[in-house]
Every structure is written in structure tokens, then in C-alpha cells.
Amino acid sequence: MGTYFFKRILYVIPITLAVSFFCFMLVHLSPGDPMDAVVSADAPREVVAMVQAAYGFDRPLPEQYGRWVVRAVQGDLGLSTANGRAVTTEVFGALVNTLRLALVASLIGFTLGCLFGTLAGYWQGSLLDRFVTGIAVGGVSIPHYWLGMMLVIVFSVELSWLPSSGAGPGSSSDWVWEWRYIRHLILPAITLSVIPMGVVTRTVRAMVAEILNHDFVEALRAKGLAEVRVFLHVVKNVAPTALAVMGLQLGYLLGGSILVETVFSWPGTGLLLNNAIFQRDLPILQGTILVLAIFFVLLNLMVDLAQARLDPRIQRN
């Protein structure tokens, strides 16, 4: 296990460097001038040059990248060109809100996905199987933003049961697990949970159906093993694949929540990215994408190690 762990750690280092490079270059090669968010169009050339020097935009791209990586390793992602605040503070403040939303959404999606997938796999070909499959297909087909707007219309506008925006009645930094705050979390969490629920349902359903057709399951039943014990053996064989899918979906929830957070004005990394794109705030864009990418890489590392623990055969690959 130690050798496998060490190899996976070594893989993370070049992947992280490659992600940081592509993140830096893609943001810089996109159209627009980041100076538009700092100085006015009619500002004197000397002022523009001074501001460019202050943010380091006057240097060659390779040098900018090297300086940016060195500062990022030290925890300094620069200053926002839109508001002048530290990027690290902005990104990690938003990341806490996104993690809160993503974890609740993943709990809903993964729980329902495993439940529906297991039921459909055990009763494959039945009316229940077709019903669950329809829900799963609908879950992966419905656009996030459309579902979010429909939930707002029904539960916020028509019924007035739940708030339509924000992370709480006060500042999001004052979040506590009380009903007056949780009410703001329900609609965006449900919206964000639909796609992972569909993906996990279809994956678990296929795995359960396949494993139930294996010879060892029939052998266990022939020996008179209780169905509950047979079920535990099926779960043990499904767990590594289901865990891998769940890990990927959690990463997608963190990086793909921009539309949902915009619809519900949820102050997370998605809304931060959306605002940074419109404001052409390069430091915020770079810092947010880098943090999310590193988080995704580390999440996959943890999933790999957990899979290896559940299925020792993976360590031989």
C-alpha cells in the first residue's frame, strides 16, 4: 500500500503543474484586456503602464507564469483587479460556500442514486426498473439552470415556501446550521444533486445487475447464505466503481456549479467565476480555477487510495 501511495503522490505533482500552466495560458489568451477593469479607457499612457507594472502584466508571459507559480506556492494569488482585495481571501471564502452546497447536494444525489440503482439492479426488467431508469435519464438530461428556475417559480414565487437567493438572512460568513439558513440551501442543493443522482443510479444499477449474474452469487445462494449476506457481497464488489463515480461527480459539482450558483445568487466559486469573467478579473479567474483544479486532483487521489483499500487488486495496476 505504501508503494502505491507513493506512486500516486508522484503522479499528482506533474499533473498539478500542467493544470496550473494551462489555467494560466487559457486565461491570458482569452480576448479582452484586464486593464479595462482597473483604469478607464481614456487614462494616460503613463498611468496604464504604471498599473501594468504593479500587477506584473508588463512582463513576458513565461516570467509572469513563473512569478505566479512561486507566489501561489507561498499562498499568495495576487490582488483582484476589480476590487483590490486579496485573491486568496476571495477564493477561499467562496470555496467554503461551494463546499457546503456541494457536500449537501452530493449527499442527496449519492444516497438516492445508490438506493435507486440497487433497487433497479435487483429487480431488473421490472416496472420499478423502468421507472428508476426514467428518473435517472431525466436527471442527466435536464439542464441545471432550467430546473433551478422552475424550482424558484414553484417554491419561491408561487408557494413562498423557500427563499430564492442568497446563502442566509445575514452574511454568508456567519453561516450556522439553523433552519433560517438551511432554507436558503435546499433549492440549490436539490438542483445540483439531480445530475449526480442520475449518473450514480445508472452506474450502480448496471454494476448490481452484472454482479448478480456472476457465478459466485449463485454459489453463495446455493450454500444457503442469507440474502442479506449475499447483498453485502454484492455491495463490496460494487463499492470501488461506485466510489470512483462519486468522487468524479463531487469534483464536477465543485467546478460545474457556476450556473446554479448564478441562478440562486449563492456566494460560491461559481458566482465568483461568473463575476470575474464579466469584469475580466484575471487574478480571480486564475486563482479560482487553480484552487478548484488542485482540489479536483486531490479528490481523485483520495478516491484512488480509497479504491485500493476496498479492492487490493487495484494496487497491482
What's this model's pTM, rounded to 2 decimal places? 0.79
What residue has cell string 460560491?
A: 268
CB count in 10 Å sphere of residue 8: 15
Instruction: List the end-to-end C-alpha distance of the chain, in Å, as a whole number.
Output: 12
Domain assignments of the chain as residue spans, ordered by start: 88-269
Give the percent of the chain with pLDDT over 90.
4
The CATH code belonging to domain 88-269 is 1.10.3720.10
Q: What is the mean pLDDT of residues 205-226?
A: 81
pLDDT tops 80 at residue 42 = no
Count each helix (H run) and each strand (E run) in the chain, helices first: 12, 0
Contacts of 57 (CB under 8 A, 6+ apart): 34, 35, 64
Least confident of 5-14, 15-24, 184-193: 5-14
Residue 56, SS3 per DSSP: coil
- Report d(CA 244, CA 265) in Å as an integer: 30
Q: Which residue has the higher pLDDT, 20 or 3?
A: 20
Taking alpha carbons only, the member of 267, 279, 276, 141 closest to residue 202 is 141
Q: Which three cell numbers stand for residue 51?
A: 498599473
Q: What is the CB neighbour count within 10 angstroms for residue 211?
A: 17
Helix (H, G, I), strand (E, B) or coil at 7: helix
Q: Are 291 and 92 in contact (CB under 8 A)?
A: yes
Give the chain's length: 317
Cα separation, 88 vs 80, whole angstroms? 10
pLDDT at 72 over 60: yes
pLDDT of residue 312: 62
In whole angstroms, what is the distance from residue 100 CA to residue 80 CA? 24
Confidence category of residue 225, pLDDT binned at 50, 70, 90: confident
Across 57-71, 204-218, 302-316, least confident range? 302-316
CA pair distance 41, 39, nearest whole angstrom: 7
* Alpha-carbon span 60 to 6, nearest angstrom: 36
Closest by CA to 309, choosing from 8, 32, 85, is 8
Which of these ranges, 1-5, 64-68, 126-130, has the smallest mean pLDDT?
Answer: 1-5
Residue range 140-176, pLDDT digits in tens:
888 888 888 999 999 988 888 888 888 777 655 567 7
What is the structure's pLDDT at 190? 92
pLDDT tops 70 at residue 86: yes
Give me 132's grid cell. 428508476
Q: Chain-wide mean pLDDT for the chain?
A: 80
Give pLDDT, residue 256: 63
* Contact (Cβ atoms closer than 8 angstroms) between residue 101 and residue 185: yes
Residue 291 has pLDDT above 80, yes or no: yes
In tens, the pLDDT along 265-276 reads 888 888 888 888
81 DSSP assignment: T
- The full DSSP string for 189-218 is HHHHHHHHHHHHHHHHHHHHHHHHTSHHHH
Q: Is the pLDDT of residue 186 over 70?
A: yes
Out of 81-85, 119-123, 253-257, give the one with best mean pLDDT: 119-123
pLDDT at 285 (0 to 100): 84
191 touches 144 (CB < 8 A): yes
| Residue 245, pLDDT score | 82
